[in-house]
Chains A and B, each alone.
Chain A
């Protein structure tokens, strides 16, 4: 359903040449798969997600969604095609209640019980949160969980979660893993999760390792996961491996 062809992204730099973040990256994601993208920090994972959502535009290459070239399609148009993205660091909104935000995500006014279901799935006691504002009064972990709930409130063809585990305490994390498992079964057609968490990787159909702006490996979980564990003692060792290959 999603195809990236020779994707390249350079961020503006002072010397005018730009810093390369994504380098000649090509991949195909089949429909109905739960894919986890992992790899060291700074390797280009979030940029890749933003390129798919249209928040960043590639400097070269093509993005195809169900065969349609969406490379130049603006963010709202991609949203209408059924692509959604949960931010790694979600913004806060003064005056906007949790219930209203979920309704905006859903596209129409959500009944209270549905809002509650989504909030419960991300480990929030819904009665306490429905009418709270998504502002600085909420903790980082709370905002993050609400962000995840905004994606759960939509029926997406492709849902992208950027490090959903970041800032979430252990107890809620267990809840979250459970929700992701349930979601992978029914909610979205395809799910793409950027994660460093073993327990989320274990849910994956496929695992994609991105480092230094390139795909290091990609394949079914059974194939990638076992030797990934032996490789990722630290993010550095993986980086070193990639570095060696380049040299």
Chain B
């Protein structure tokens, strides 16, 4: 890949596990500009003409191909806004690796706001993995505000994993999904905030068709003086099933709000919400110390596995 320096490389590795040119389709965006792009016979990536961003079209029936779309920001003071639209054809099955890495050494804020919309045709299936990562020792803030809209036709399946561990000062995530009959959405969110970081997550899922199923699993750790707010809303408009599980570990002087909402507009909607906030208990630390770990090592193991 041309024009890629060491900083870019480490960011790409952190957000997309990219060590070299990815196989399959890809689009790499750096500081608001396209850096590299590759379409395949089945996956077409086209730059939008009316606004920044790309359209990704996956042909019906495409099987087991992958799409990498990492975004990196290395300039301080840059504000990037991007629209990515995914059209997944009937019966296609693809893996999408997204992610945003910010390296901010300056004193001005670096911000990336992405609006991703997914259109899954009947029977389409995607696994979408998105990592957020921030680094750099400048005083400039690193801000990420992703918005995700998922439209799911009959019997489509979407597994979405989002990970944000350290480094991002402020994030506001909005996720909205509409599920037709037999569609299945699994959302997994993992988050660690520290210092004075803030993270807010609003999720709204409408189960509109019979036998639509969703499962939301959120695991988070708030350290330092950070703040987290979760507000998942699941709306059952048909005979459907939903299970929402929010589990948070709180440390130091952090603050966590978990605001569950399940709304049934149909008597055969089965909606469950579980939420818990608690600290690491001392018995867990002591147990691991009896294996020979220091208190710090024990805490790190507990945190790492909780977010695994």
Would you call A79 and B291 a contact (CB within 8 A)? yes
Does chain B have a CB within 8 A of A244? no
Given A95-B306, A100-B305, A104-B301, CB of A55 within 8 Å of CB of B286 = yes
Does chain B have a CB within 8 A of A219? no
| A100 to B308 Cα, complex, angstroms | 12
| Contact residues on A (Cβ < 8 Å of other chain), bracket | 20 to 34
Would you call B283 and A84 a contact (CB within 8 A)? no
Q: Could you tell me the distance in whole angstroms from the C-beta of A149 to the nearest C-beta in chain B?
A: 13
Does chain A have a CB within 8 A of B288? yes
Contact of A87 among B247, B283, B293, B302 (CB under 8 A): B283
| A224 to B292 Cα, complex, angstroms | 35
Would you call B284 and A85 a contact (CB within 8 A)? no
Q: Could you tell me the distance in whole angstroms from the C-beta of A126 to the nearest C-beta in chain B?
A: 20
Residue ID in chain A nearest B285 by CB atoms: A91
Residue ID in chain B nearest A92 by CB atoms: B284
Interface-central residue, A75, A80, A84, A93, by most chain B CB under 10 Å: A75
Does chain A have a CB within 8 A of B6? no
How many residues of B are counted as interface, with CB atoms below 8 angstroms from the partner's CB atoms? 20
| A80 to B293 Cα, complex, angstroms | 9
Residues of B within 8 A of A74 (CB): 289
Residues of B within 8 A of A89 (CB): 283
Does chain B have a CB within 8 A of A90? yes
Residues of B within 8 A of A16 (CB): none
| A107 to B301 Cα, complex, angstroms | 13
Contact of A94 among B247, B292, B301 (CB under 8 A): B247
Contact of B286 among A75, A80, A100 (CB under 8 A): A75
Q: Could you tell me the distance in whole angstroms from the C-beta of B73 to the nearest C-beta in chain A?
A: 31
Residue ID in chain B nearest A96 by CB atoms: B305
In the complex, number of A-B residue pairs with CB atoms less than 8 Å apart = 55
Residues of chain B in range 97-156 having any CB-CB distance to chain A below 8 Å: none
Contact of B302 among A84, A90, A93, A154 (CB under 8 A): A93
Does chain B have a CB within 8 A of A242? no
Does chain A have a CB within 8 A of B184? no
Residues of A within 8 A of B219 (CB): 94-95
Residues of B within 8 A of A75 (CB): 286, 289-290
Would you call B306 and A94 a contact (CB within 8 A)? yes
Contact of B290 among A85, A94, A97, A100 (CB under 8 A): A85
Given A55-B286, A87-B287, CB of A79 within 8 Å of CB of B292 = yes
| A2 to B69 Cα, complex, angstroms | 61
Does chain B have a CB within 8 A of A115? no
Does chain A have a CB within 8 A of B20? no
Contact of A91 among B284, B293, B294, B308 (CB under 8 A): B284
Contact with B along A119-137 (1 / 0, CB 8 A): 0000000000000000000
Does chain B have a CB within 8 A of A64? no
Interface-central residue, B293, B302, B305, B308, by most chain A CB under 10 Å: B305
| A74 to B308 Cα, complex, angstroms | 29
Q: Could you tell me the distance in whole angstroms from the C-beta of A53 to the nearest C-beta in chain B?
A: 6
Does chain A have a CB within 8 A of B3? no
Residues of chain A in range 163-206 having any CB-CB distance to chain B below 8 Å: none
| A100 to B301 Cα, complex, angstroms | 10
Given A75-B286, A87-B287, A104-B301, CB of A95 within 8 Å of CB of B308 = yes
Would you call B293 and A76 a contact (CB within 8 A)? yes
Residues of B within 8 A of A228 (CB): none
Q: Could you tell me the distance in whole angstroms from the C-beta of A146 to the nearest C-beta in chain B?
A: 11
Residues of B within 8 A of A60 (CB): none
Residue ID in chain A nearest B278 by CB atoms: A94
Residues of B within 8 A of A91 (CB): 281, 283-284, 287
Contact of B292 among A55, A80, A93, A150 (CB under 8 A): A80
| A85 to B289 Cα, complex, angstroms | 10
Does chain B have a CB within 8 A of A105? yes
Would you call A76 and B289 a contact (CB within 8 A)? yes
Residues of chain A in range 49-106 having any CB-CB distance to chain B below 8 Å: 53, 55, 74-76, 79-80, 84-85, 87, 89-91, 93-97, 100, 104-105
Binding site for A on B (CB under 8 A): 219, 247, 281, 283-284, 286-294, 301-302, 305-308
* Pairs of residues from A and B, 10 with the lowest C-beta to C-beta distance, nearest first: A79-B292, A91-B283, A96-B305, A75-B289, A95-B305, A95-B306, A91-B284, A76-B292, A80-B292, A76-B289
Jot down 22 A-B pairs with beta carbons below 8 A, ordered by A.
A75-B290, A76-B293, A79-B289, A79-B291, A79-B292, A80-B292, A84-B290, A87-B283, A90-B287, A91-B287, A93-B306, A94-B305, A94-B306, A95-B219, A95-B306, A95-B307, A96-B301, A96-B302, A97-B305, A104-B291, A107-B292, A150-B291
Given contacts A91-B287, A95-B306, 14 further A-B contacts (CB under 8 A): A53-B290, A74-B289, A75-B290, A76-B289, A76-B292, A76-B294, A79-B290, A85-B290, A90-B287, A93-B302, A93-B305, A94-B219, A94-B247, A104-B288
